[in-house]
Structure 1
Amino acid sequence: MSAQEALVPALLHVTTPSMAVVESALDAGYDGVVIDLQHGEVGLDAACRMLRAIPRGNAYAFARVASIDFGAIGRLLDSGARGIVAPTVETAGQARAVVSATKYPPLGGRSLGPSRPALYGGEDYCAAGNAAVATVVQIESAAGVEAADEILGVDGVDSVYVGPADLAVSYGLPGRPDWTSGPVADAVVHLAERARAHGVTFGLYCSDPAFAAGQVLRAGLDYVGLGIDLMFIGRHARATVAALKGAS
């Protein structure tokens, strides 16, 4: 692995409501997590507790919300989330709504009332908070790819995160990640180019580390979502049981 690849932050998707899973992922070498309120069993209260298992200065304490809900997003940010991932953004209007929910005035409409004290340092708390929090639009449909310039051109959007499985489904393909050719692979390269043109960071979910390393070079990833906790458990459990039965 090159020095460039080694420096790309890796985030684990966490779908189980467990502070221990978050701590274990960071201890294992992950740079951050995506606490997933869209898929899995993590509710809002659990997500707010899980954020407290992450050191306050970690820039990759991300939470993916189920929808653009001002109340839920505000609570996650007040509990220490440093990035909000909004799923299936397909229009500039949706992107503006995410910015409004994640940024303090004058850029957005986030309410000031942190429950985790001293989240943001500096003379201007609101400006510091806006700089510290990443507003992440997730593009995971053909419609989102087509509207990429309008979405990424919205003031306050900091990053685009690609969901390849849903993107594949929108193209009439099987819902899986790690595409090396075809419309999904082409869309990833296109979105990476548009992200650079608009000055926002670019992330991609991958399931295979070797594929992710290749995408760092091909598409220029700034960070990578790499694996899901429940899938890790299932994979290791199957291998363990198969090894036992094979040895008996």
Structure 2
Amino acid sequence: MDNLRQKLAASRLSFGINVYSGAPAAVEIAGLRGLDFVFIDSEHTLLGADLPLERMILAAHAARIAPLVRVPDSNPTGLRKVLEAGASGVIVPQVHSAAQMHSIIQATKFPPLGRRGGDSSVRTASYGGPGFSWPDYIRRENDETLVIPMAESFEFFDEIDAILDVPGIDAVHFGPADYALSRGIDVDYSMRQPEVRAAMRELIAKCHSRDIKVMLPCAPATAEQAAELADEGGDMLLMGNDLMFLHQGCIDAVGVASAIRKDRA
């Protein structure tokens, strides 16, 4: 698999989609079409650290696309299980403080970087099979798995410097909807609302000064919007989601059906 971390280290703009449906096929299609990563959501869906999520992660590996999983919360056990199942990284919602961020790093990184618990009977350790080596496993997991907190509240921005100074953050995902809700302002996924755009720019500047990447939703998912966000400093762009694509396909189908029915009336 072309390593997403390597792409980011080379400052290659990366593209992905959100997957809400729980369908492994959506993940596979994203990989087959050449996207860089999938953002598998288990915060706003019924997915958990369970067999359906495992199938989605396996589908991502089969299609050679990096699976990033948004976990429901910062519970240490949930973070560890998702990584042990083979996720390329975890996206952690509702991060509000440096203390919480420190706990996330402790749960996702092995010593000496953190205090993640280990077991060789998991996928990422090849189930302790031939050639398994604890030092190699620890080094690979610490080096390659991505930790991506979400900046989606005024609390994050109130403590932004202290949060970003916690060692071990690879990227930050800006959540404009929850940020706007936390501020009591209109939700605007295009991030053109002045206060939302200002927060986005502050996040990019402070992240890049620390060599941390930034993930942004690209709405609308057009070439013009993607170019604008890349020019602003976005490193990872989310180009819509599987449910949106299904909606658009149905809209197109209904449009064709309505035209044919009118012609034949």
Equivalent residue for 2:148, pick from 136, 144, 160: 136
What is the distance in 1 between the residues matched to 2:206 and 2:133? 32
> Is residue 2:131 matched to residue 1:126?
no
| TM-aligned CA distance change 1:59 to 1:193, over 3 Å | farther
Shift of 1:118: 4.7
Residue type of the alignment partner of 1:78 = E
> Is residue 2:167 matched to residue 1:155?
yes
Structure 1 runs not aligned, ≥5 long: 1-5
| TM-aligned CA distance change 1:25 to 1:57, over 3 Å | closer
TM-score, normalisation: structure 1: 0.89
Residue type of the alignment partner of 1:240 = A
What is the distance in 2 between the residues matched to 1:59 and 1:238? 28
Equivalent pair of 1:59/1:132 in contact (CA under 8 Å) = no
| SS of residue paired to 1:136 | strand
Identity %: 29
What is the distance in 2 between the residues matched to 1:247 and 1:159? 48
Aligned length: 242
What is the distance in 2 between the residues matched to 1:128 and 1:202? 23
What is the distance in 1 between the residues matched to 2:63 and 2:205? 29
What is the distance in 1 between the residues matched to 2:218 and 2:250? 21
Equivalent residue for 1:215, pick from 229, 236, 249: 229
Aligned to 1:197: 209
| SS of residue paired to 2:61 | coil
Aligned to 1:108: 114
Aligned to 1:229: 242
Comparing 200-209 with 50-59, which one deviates more in the overlay?
50-59
Equivalent pair of 1:59/1:82 in contact (CA under 8 Å) = no
Aligned to 1:90: 96
Equivalent pair of 1:13/1:34 in contact (CA under 8 Å) = yes
Comparing 117-126 with 71-80, which one deviates more in the overlay?
117-126
The superposition leaves residues 87-143 of structure 1 with CA deviations (integer Å, 9 ceiling, x where unpaired) of 011110111111111111121121222521556999532122111011111001122
Shift of 1:42: 2.2
| TM-aligned CA distance change 1:102 to 1:240, over 3 Å | same
What is the distance in 2 between the residues matched to 1:56 and 1:156? 28
> Is residue 2:34 matched to residue 1:29?
yes
Equivalent pair of 2:60/2:66 in contact (CA under 8 Å) = no
Structure 2 runs not aligned, ≥5 long: 1-10, 127-131
| SS of residue paired to 2:209 | helix
> Is residue 2:257 matched to residue 1:244?
yes
Aligned to 2:176: 164
Shift of 1:70: 1.7
Q: Which structure has the larger Rg?
A: 2
> Is residue 2:46 matched to residue 1:41?
yes
Aligned to 1:3: none
The superposition leaves residues 51-90 of structure 1 with CA deviations (integer Å, 9 ceiling, x where unpaired) of 1112289683200011112222111111111111100111
Comparing 99-108 with 205-214, which one deviates more in the overlay?
205-214
Comparing 50-59 with 192-201, which one deviates more in the overlay?
50-59
What is the distance in 2 between the residues matched to 1:153 and 1:56? 36
Shift of 1:148: 1.2
Aligned to 2:4: none
Comparing 39-48 with 195-204, which one deviates more in the overlay?
39-48
The superposition leaves residues 17-50 of structure 1 with CA deviations (integer Å, 9 ceiling, x where unpaired) of 2211110111122211011000123232111221
| SS of residue paired to 1:40 | coil
Equivalent pair of 2:40/2:70 in contact (CA under 8 Å) = yes
| SS of residue paired to 1:42 | coil
Aligned to 2:185: 173
| TM-aligned CA distance change 1:188 to 1:55, over 3 Å | same
Kindly report the root-mean-square deviation, in angstroms, between the aligned alpha carbons of the 2 structures. 2.3
TM-score, normalisation: structure 2: 0.84
Residue type of the alignment partner of 1:216 = A
